[in-house]
Amino acid sequence: MKTIKQLTILLSLLTLTLPAHSTTAATPLHKNVILMIMDGTNSDILTLSRWYRGTDLKLDTILRGGVRTYSAQSAITDSAAAGSAMATGVKTKPDYIGMNPDRLPVLTVLEGAKLSGYKTGIVSTSPIQHATPAAFTSHVLNRDEFGDIGEQQVYQGLDVVLGGGGAWLKPQAKEPTKDDDGMLKTKQISREDGENLFKEIHSSGYELVRKRDELLRGTTSPKLWGVFADEDISYELDRPQLNPDEPSLAEMTRAAIDRLSQGEKGFFLMVEGSKVDWAAHKNDPVGMISEVLSFDDAVREALDFARKDGNTMVVAVTDHGNSGLTLGNHGTNGDYKRLPADRFIKPLKKARLTVKGATSQLKKDRSNLKEVLSSYGLGDLSKKEFGIMEAAKSVDDLENKMVKLMAKRANLGFTTHGHTGEDVFLYSYGPGKPVGLIENTDIPRVISDYMGFSLWTGPFASWFVDGVKYYQDMGYEVLVEGRTSKNPVMVAERDGEVLRFPENKDFYWRNDEKLRLKSVNVYDGESFYVHVEE
């Protein structure tokens, strides 16, 4: 029988022989979160994409539940309200970006991570000023304010930005054009204030890359900004053939992870596969499949890193459904029980380009119409079918006729060219991951809990203040100079001291001294919001 003293000695010796890391193994030195958003995707296109690829998706391996997507105003959300909910934890109104329903800017989970010492980044196949990436990085009342959004993003101090949207970083003006997202909205494709934000990107220490090979070569700068298109990056099916200088979503995701993972504390990365939604607005099943599979390849990159790292949470989700795509339509009412998968897939696999990619090759005189139709898998038309195509009054009309015929041949149905309001799938992996049927507002709560900060308690909860009221209460005379101009400035003056807060910037002037702020200044046309260190 050993004495208590002998047992104590043995226990001490055992403790001394344990591996040095064992006492801290439960406490990771870093924490990473990769939030991946597949914009505008319903469940049937995931099924169709799986059949098309012929194997399970990487997403299938991490299916954990569902997400409710409604906004503060509607059962069917838009991307702005949905993105803002996933960024801030607050349901808001359509078109609002990083703002609550009362028009107040609220801190995003990306901003909270940055303020907490994490590296941060965004990746998108749309212009980075589009609704979803904007919701994590800016605060405006209208998602179409690409100029203000782009300016705030430049002054947010992110570590990695990869995507499209170069047009809103430079002052050169172009004619307004239609968006290629099926919504047919007209935007000014330039900066209305004439500022050249590329100069600010350079002066802020970013390495600026413009082509795929520059990105793939790898870089050493701690900050990276990739601008690969003036507007959106090509659909993945079209990209290698029509725009090979643009990177894939998977390549941008891998590059972002490589750069962000060099930090000691960890990182937050938001990745958006933007253009499932754009193809869905067009009712183009080929384009939708192209982008689902592109997104799945990016998920593979995230999961490969997370499995090796051990301290990385991956969350993948769509912000809302779109198009109401169904495998089966009114034409299959009587024989759906006898339709194998290849009856849906074979017509789609004939397409070498998406409908947008195909019509982009159309000559003005339409002399190559047959070749264009063939590139979309419609090379064997009857005389009547070809006549319908010839009679198209515009490119939009031609695309609409092409996708309708493709859907008919592939036995697919569409209920709308707009969004839909169903619950969507939740995919997650890693420590702290969300599971079950959750609200979209739960996503940033789970992420911030894992990363060790809160957007709803402490200093982050009331981060922005009404600058006019705050400084008036401090005895300053306050006005907003250039209230209706492209570059308004809040001016506060007291006893010879003049403070000037320019909209969308992360600094202010105290007389002739430029002082940095921890957040950008936000002006909504009525109120001017700033962050004040107490």
**Which residues are known catalytic residues?**
79
Instruction: Name the residue among 439, 419, 435 with its Cα closest to residue 72.
Output: 439
What are 99's two structure tokens? Answer: 């703002």
What pairs with residue 492 in β-bridges?
A: 478, 499
Nearest alpha-carbon partner for 131 in 120, 145, 121: 145
Nearest to 287 by CA among 385, 179, 359, 186: 359
Q: Which two tokens stand for residue 210?
A: 């413009």
3-class secondary structure, 198: helix
Beta partners for 267? Answer: 32, 119
The Cα–Cα gap between 503 and 525 comes to 10
The single-letter code of the amino acid at 533 is: E
How buried is residue 135: exposed, middle or buried, by Cβ count under 10 Å (0-12/13-18/19+)?
A: buried
Alpha carbon distances (Å) from 64 to 228, 302, 394: 34, 17, 44
Burial 60-98 (b: 16+ CB within 10 A, else e): eebebbbbbbbbbbeebbbbbbbbbbbbbbbbbbbbbbb
